[in-house]
Amino acid sequence: MMPESPGENGRSLHRAHELLSFHLDNLPLAVIEWDSRFHISRWSRHAEALFGWPAEAVIGKHPFNFTFVHPEDAESVAEVIKQLLLGVAPQNVSTNRNLTRDGALVECEWHNSIQIDDQGHVVSVLSVVQDVTERNAFERSSRELLAREQALKSQFRAIFESAPGLYLVLTADDYRIVGVSDAYLEATHTDREAIIGRQLFDVFPVTPDRSNAAGVEELTASLERVKRYGQPDTMPVLRYPIPDPATGGFEERHWSPINVPIFDEQGQLSLILHRTEDVTDYLNDAPTIEPTNLELIARARELKTLLERHRSSEEHWHRLFAEAATGIVQADTRGRLLYANQAFCDMLGYTEEALRATDFLALTHPDDRQGDLDELRCLLAGEKNSFVIEKRMLDYRGGMVWCRISVSAQRDRHGTIVSLVAVIEDITAQREAEARQQSLAQRLTRSLENMSDAFYLLDEDWRFSYLNHQAERVLERSSAELLGRNVWEAFPEAREGELWACYHAAIETAEAQQFTFYFPPLAHWFEVNAYPGEEGLAVYFRTVTEQKRLEAQLQEAQRMEAIGHLTGGMAHDFNNLLTVIMGNADLLSEALAADTQLAPLVQAVAESAQRGADLTQRLLAFARRQALAPQPTDINRLIRGLTELLRRTLGEQIELRFHPGQGLWAANIDPSQLESALLNLSINARDAMSDGGHLTIETQNVSLSAQYADEHLELVPGDYVCIAVSDTGTGIPKTIRERVFDPFFTTKEKGKGTGLGLSMVFGFLKQSAGHVNLYSEEGEGTTIKLYLPRIQQAVSDPKLTARDTASLKGCETLLVVEDDVTVREYVVTQLEAAGYGVRQAKDGPSALAMLVADTTIQLIFTDVMMPGGMTGRDLAIAALRLRPDLKVVYTSGYTENAIVHNGRLDEGVRFLGKPYRPVALLRLIREALDED
């Protein structure tokens, strides 16, 4: 390590000096530094504060150069300075008096230390000074008080010992003699030094003949009562022989004693003052006693008799208390235990002696002490004569014992409270049972709070006494709002419904009631279980609105399923017949166009067949069994294209108004079916406006909320395109509004309606995942709103599919698969007439065999529903495995779920619904063949 340079060493010393100066200046005591001549070189700010001189006034001065040292201490201070400068005492602590700048006296304790240079010379002295003026004054005062106390004690002892009365001072615990008057020593022939410190009954023992045994017992009992009650105890005249030093025997003596308790500063019994009077001469010289003294003796004897009776009674009650099964204790007004019976000792596991050494507060659980003190304070203040409290006490192991304590005050004849008596009952088992019951109640409450059902209790006056959180939520009221309120006042509407009757039936019959009802104010269905009890009614309930909605959906679905099966079966066979009828009617119409007699008949056949086809189509629409081909549709453009047809349908008396919505979304819908639905609504509106009116069609974007959707069956919240069709007709009566969408329900005259128009609209909208709603007022008109599901996909331009009849012919080879012979022959005839080569099969298996045999077949035209276990869809799948380039066109009067799922044609499927006309057949075949 390199040695530090002189410059670095100097800087280090300077930093050390600065650090030392900082600490000295900030030391909370006065600091004074002296040079080698004992002149002041440092005077700290605390020195300025203590002595009053500023540093600039004393720096460089010797302590004797200004009035700093008290003149009487100058000699001792000079000796200290001499010893310090000679280096005799490196450290020195001295005390002397100093004077402040104002001349005030300050007593100081000086802690001096010297600093020596390398040659051993004293270069400076550092003094730390502490002001001890107050401390010294306190010590002087304490010494004076102690001396005065000692003098008073000596004076009191002298007074006590020279007092004319017979006095003993005894320790309270073991009755040792600690003080005695001269008169007592003389009367008992004893010496102070011989009896001080000895036990009372060692100095005055039982005589050999035990003639004073009763007196010893009575004196012992009196002293015990003083300890127990903390009150003076006056005894009757007592025979108590004492030792006679002159004879060595015992001298007959009679005494009239009183024992008085003496308490220390903490209120604890420490000493007992025993004062007595020697009445032997009075008793022995009774004939010569003055009459007044004789009266006194008579009263003394009477008092003795009364006291003996009292003690006999006291012993009787003492035995009762001692043998009582309930704990009984006696305490003084400070709570110190004077007596405890065996039951209380057993309760806490202490001996009576151990209990007397403590107090009631120490036996009380810390958390219960304040309540105990409050009650005791009221009792001692005279605000009450007794109190009952339940609290925890501590047994000898520190365990808890729950007690019910009845405390009463014992008073003397002046009304002063002299002691407290407590009767104590162990209620630990009761408390534990209550705790278990409370725990059970808490668990029950938690269960009730966590259960999914709502629950509340009603008392015998129909008032709410409890509600769980679920009940608050369902009833839309808080517990604070309902507790204590009568249920019929809180929910007055409930008086009119099933709730009133069922609740009263439960109470009157004492039998549980289970029921379901609808409560309009809360707009909910409720399932209720009401159980009667002794204190009222316990009610479990839950909302079943969603369940009811699902049940309605299920019923509707089952109804639609039943109608669908019925309709499907009818449509399959009926459409086969209509296909042949309509096709042949069209052919006959062309062939007989010039025949004025037959042409009208053929036209009537064709029109009737078309009405039959429309009827089956409406049935399928209502039953949601029609094959839909939804696509992104511009609704405004569709309605504009339909307005001319609607105007012709409505006639001149009815004005059609169309208000298209701006920025209308695209809807996912089957355009042709939507056109049919709008046409049906327009026809119904026209029939309702026989005297003319307005038909208004409006479109707009709407977003249906979850709340709105929950109130309507099969409706999903989200974005919709709404079409509102409003008329100014007669309106629909309220009594039949709920039935207008039912099939075959109509208010029109017989023969003027099938009752399937609105049901077709309803079924089509539901099958399209949409919604329909009706608003009507009698005499005001009707509005029907159609909600079409929005689609994010862009709308494509409509394809132009019109072809002339000549372009529908072809020469390709086709396979017709149809189980109905009549329909199959009709189709084959039409296709062959158009130039096609046609093969035919009655079912799927035979069609597959034909495909294997004839490789020239380019297209299959197959019915969907066929016997034999293979549908048209199954056939197409198997055929495409053999010939992937094969084209397939389906036909059916009822598809079930073969090529239609969720009411929509499977993607890529070409379908021709029955019944169909020859032109529609040829057009679809041609389009399929020409498709890439």
pLDDT tens column, 59-88: 999 999 999 999 999 999 999 999 888 888
At 670 the pLDDT is 81
Q: Which residue has the higher pLDDT, 497 or 583?
A: 497
Cα gap 127→94, rounded to integer Å: 10
Q: Which residue has the higher pLDDT, 628 or 210?
A: 210
> Residue 783 forms beta bridges with which residues?
726, 775
Average pLDDT rounded to a whole number, residues 794-800 = 65
Higher-confidence position of 572 and 388 = 388
Between 768 and 578, the higher pLDDT residue: 768
Cα torsion at 205, 208, 214, 217 (round to 10°)? 30
- Is the pLDDT at 287 greater than 60? The verdict is no
Q: Mean per-residue pLDDT for 713-733?
A: 85
Q: 707: closest CA among 557, 493, 546?
A: 546
212, 240 Cβ separation under 8 angstroms: yes
Tell me the DSSP string of 263-309.
Answer: E-TTS-EEEEEEEE-B-HHHHHTGGGS-HHHHHHHHHHHHHHHHHHH
pLDDT at 574: 65
| Local structure of residue 790 (DSSP, 8 states) | B
Residue 613, both tokens: 């086809």
pLDDT-wise least confident of 338-347, 650-659, 679-688: 679-688
- Tell me: the pLDDT tens digits for 619-634? 555 555 555 667 888 9
Asked if residue 294 has pLDDT above 60, the reply is no
- Compute the average pLDDT of residues 893-897: 56
**Beta-carbon count within 10 A of 809 CB:** 13
Q: Where are the beta strands (DSSP E) in 593-751?
A: 631-633, 654-659, 667-669, 693-704, 718-727
Check if the beta carbon of residue 118 is closer than 8 Å to that of residue 130. Answer: no
Coil, helix or strand for 903?
A: coil
Whole-angstrom CA distances from 258 to 66, 251, 599, 766, 867 are: 72, 21, 152, 112, 130
DSSP string, 50-109: HH---HHHHTT--TTTTTTB-GGGHHHHHHHHHHHHTTS-SEEEEEEEEE-TT--EEEEE
> Which pLDDT score, from 0 to 100, does residue 7 have?
53
| Residue 3 scores a pLDDT above 50 | no
Distance set, CA 111 to CA 30, 31, 66, 68, 420 (Å): 11, 10, 21, 17, 61
Higher local confidence (pLDDT), 633 or 305? 633
Of 81-90, 399-408, 620-629, 923-932, the least confident: 620-629
Give the mean pLDDT of the chain.
80
Name the β-bridge partners of 697: 658, 725
Q: What is the percent of the chain with per-residue pLDDT over 90, rounded to a whole number? A: 19
CA-only gyration radius of the chain, Å: 61
Does residue 613 have a pLDDT over 80? no
Q: Where are the alpha helices (DSSP H) in 418-457?
A: 428-450
pLDDT, one tens digit per residue, over 423-434 is: 999 998 888 888
Distances (CA, A) of 6 to 13, 15, 635: 11, 14, 104
The confidence band for 800, taking pLDDT boundaries of 50, 70 and 90, is: very low
Top pLDDT among 5 and 462 is at 462
Decide if 282 contacts 299 (C-beta within 8 A).
no
pLDDT score for 244: 75
Instruction: Give pLDDT tens digits for 189-204.
Output: 888 888 888 998 888 8
Model confidence pLDDT, tens digit, residues 260-284: 888 877 778 888 988 888 877 766 6
pLDDT-derived band at 152 (thresholds 50, 70, 90) equals low
- When mean pLDDT is compared across 60-74, 453-467, 791-805, 835-849, the lowest value belongs to 791-805
User: Cβ(327)–Cβ(343) under 8 Å?
Assistant: yes
Question: Is residue 543's pLDDT more than 60?
Answer: yes
End-to-end CA distance of the chain: 100
Higher pLDDT, 24 or 13: 24
pTM: 0.38
Averaged pLDDT, 334-360? 87
* Mean pLDDT in residue range 97-121: 91
Q: Quick check: 894 pLDDT over 80?
A: no
Would you say residue 814 has pLDDT above 80? yes
Q: Which residue has the higher pLDDT, 891 or 625?
A: 891
More confident residue, 589 or 223: 223
Checking if the pLDDT of 692 tops 50, the result is: yes
Residue 886, pLDDT above cutoff 90? yes
